[in-house]
Structure 1
Amino acid sequence: MSSATVVDRNRIGVLLRACHPAPAAAVTGLTAVMAAAAGRGPLGTLLTTGAVAAGQLSIGWSNDLVDRRRDAAAGRGDKPLAAGELTAGRLAAATRWAVACCVLLSAACGVAAATVHLVAVGAGWAYNLRLKAGAWSWLPYAVAFALLPAFVTLALPGRPWPAPQVLGAGALLGIAAHFANVLPDLAADRAAGVRGLPQRLGRRASAATAVLAASAAALLLAPGWPVLAVTAPPALTTLLAPPRSRAPFLAVIAAAALALAVLLLGDGLRG
């Protein structure tokens, strides 16, 4: 293996670590399952998944670009940009490529589908640029998660919207994901002056909000199931996980996957 190949792989690895890989992979994976189950076909599923992956990359990378000075001041060694493993110029260039790919792949899914997906990605950018530091920090997550199923269904023949309960459950899962994802960084965020809604409420109230929102989403997506079957994982994980653990977020995503599986085995996404 040549040294150039090793360097390229290292650069790719660093870029992937800078994109917030766990949330990006979770959102992309769930969307891929929805697209395949909704009947998008191999090509349609690939286009949908690629568009969402590119959008998630752009959101994750832009987040680190916006927060680079705050992360460096806080000594965030887990952030490649703040740790000096990556330059702002290289990350900005990667972000531009991700945005371009997101727009092109979304457009290939049709105008209606592309519009809702780009609104969802725009919500993620709005969170990074401004809303994460205020009491409306939950709103971009609610909007983006609600619109992901619409991105899938609006690319189908007839451009149907998802069932109303799917849109509502998506918004609730977005809120749950937001509160669970912020839990490990609450103390650091407060020290840096970030005052989103979870930082204002504190750890216990934020953990409870994540569990309640995930529970409500589960009731909408899987009304015939015992709610504990879907909500026990995020509830127990949130209560037992160490303060810096990402496990609560992953548990919420696991609960979302289970509820989604129940939905797909039943009436599906469309209204």
Structure 2
Amino acid sequence: METDRAPLARQTSGLTGRPVLALAASCHPGPSAAVTVLVTVLAVAAGHSAGGCAWLAAAVLTGQLSVGWCNDAFDARRDAAAGRPKPVATGAVSPQTVWAAAHTALALCVPLSLMCGSLAGTVHLAGVGAAWAYNLRLKATMWSWLPYAAGFASLPAFVTLSSGAHSWPPWWVVVAGALLGVGAHLADTVPDISSDLAVGVRGLPHRLGTSGTRRVLPVPLVAATVALALGPPGPLPAAGAVALTAAVATALAGAALGRTHTKAPFAAAVAVATVDVALLLAQGSRIT
């Protein structure tokens, strides 16, 4: 067992004796920052005031931090058994400390969300709750995709419901958000499918297998592009047509190249997701 953990200890040796840095590394900083920035930029595009954007950003950030810390604290034993170099799994920070941080962030997320409006805050907290449900239970079931769909769909609703109009976003924005969430789940899980299976996790991507997930991955992302391009009323704008053509062509190319290059479908999915996010931000003023 010591031999198995030695490479992990080396990979996180820089965090040993630095619990604050280890705790920061346990919050999934990349995804937490990306989601926070995306929602903030969408709020700016939707016409929120500077103060409104700040409240939204604070609520989303604390929610994302709580989800990231909950994930690493709950999965500490699984991550150690799977050989993942995460700070909690290698002992750089204790699970108790990470649990405390998760609950503290969640406690802050509640009032920050409700400060944006009671309905808006409730919708956002429902999305955060779905993410916690994923960590604690649904991750290992065939319904693993559902919390991602609910969480991502709640974000544009949080933005519009907290605006001056207090309106729900158009259906096509909610659908696109949910589809982007499913795509994010598939993409996020691909690198860990084999090690997850070894410790008994059997979510949807694990049932599809690595190659199956890579092939399916572009589907929800292209569907999101279709919703964003064709959902708004009126004729299809030039930007929407270009985005739709690029997404379909990229997905098909990734699927074709995937027969000889195993990483091609994943690379194509990332490219399509980038197109989707750009198209969503371009529609910012039309979602309220």
What SS is found at the alignment partner of 1:81?
Answer: helix
Alignment of 1:183-222 (within 5 A): 183-222=190-229
CA 1:247–1:15: 2 relative to 1, 3 Å: farther
Structure 2 letter corresponding to 1:165: W
Offset at residue 34 of structure 1 (A):
1.1
CA 1:11–1:36: 2 relative to 1, 3 Å: farther
Given that residues 233 and 255 in structure 1 are in contact (C-alpha distance below 8 angstroms), is that contact kept between their aligned partners in structure 2? no
Unaligned runs of 5+ in 1: 1-6
Deviations 1:10-33 (A, max 9, x none): 444322321122222221111111
Deviations 1:222-267 (A, max 9, x none): 2332324246667767845759xx9677546423322213323xx6
TM-score by length of 2: 0.82
Aligned match of 1:73: 81
Offset at residue 209 of structure 1 (A):
2.3
What SS is found at the alignment partner of 2:87?
Answer: coil
Aligned match of 1:4: none
CA 1:257–1:196: 2 relative to 1, 3 Å: same
CA 1:234–1:12: 2 relative to 1, 3 Å: farther
What SS is found at the alignment partner of 2:66?
Answer: helix
Offset at residue 141 of structure 1 (A):
0.5
Q: Are 2:34 and 1:26 equivalent residues in the alignment?
A: yes
Unaligned runs of 5+ in 2: 1-14, 231-239
Q: Which runs of 4+ in 1 moved over 3 A?
A: 9-12, 230-243, 246-253
Instruction: Work out the CA distance in 2 between the residues paired with 1:137 and 1:248.
Output: 22
What SS is found at the alignment partner of 1:89?
Answer: helix
Offset at residue 70 of structure 1 (A):
1.0
Alignment of 1:107-126 (within 5 A): 107-126=114-133
Offset at residue 178 of structure 1 (A):
0.5
Identity %: 46
Q: Are 2:188 and 1:149 equivalent residues in the alignment?
A: no
CA 1:187–1:96: 2 relative to 1, 3 Å: same
Instruction: Work out the CA distance in 2 between the residues paired with 1:15 and 1:115.
Output: 28
TM-score by length of 1: 0.87
Offset at residue 185 of structure 1 (A):
0.4
Aligned match of 2:105: 98
Aligned match of 2:63: 55
Which shows bigger deviation, 136-145 or 200-209?
Answer: 200-209
Aligned length: 260
Aligned match of 2:286: 268
Which shows bigger deviation, 41-50 or 13-22?
Answer: 13-22
CA 1:209–1:92: 2 relative to 1, 3 Å: same
Offset at residue 221 of structure 1 (A):
0.9
Offset at residue 205 of structure 1 (A):
2.1
Aligned match of 1:229: 246
Given that residues 120 and 147 in structure 1 are in contact (C-alpha distance below 8 angstroms), is that contact kept between their aligned partners in structure 2? yes
CA 1:138–1:51: 2 relative to 1, 3 Å: same
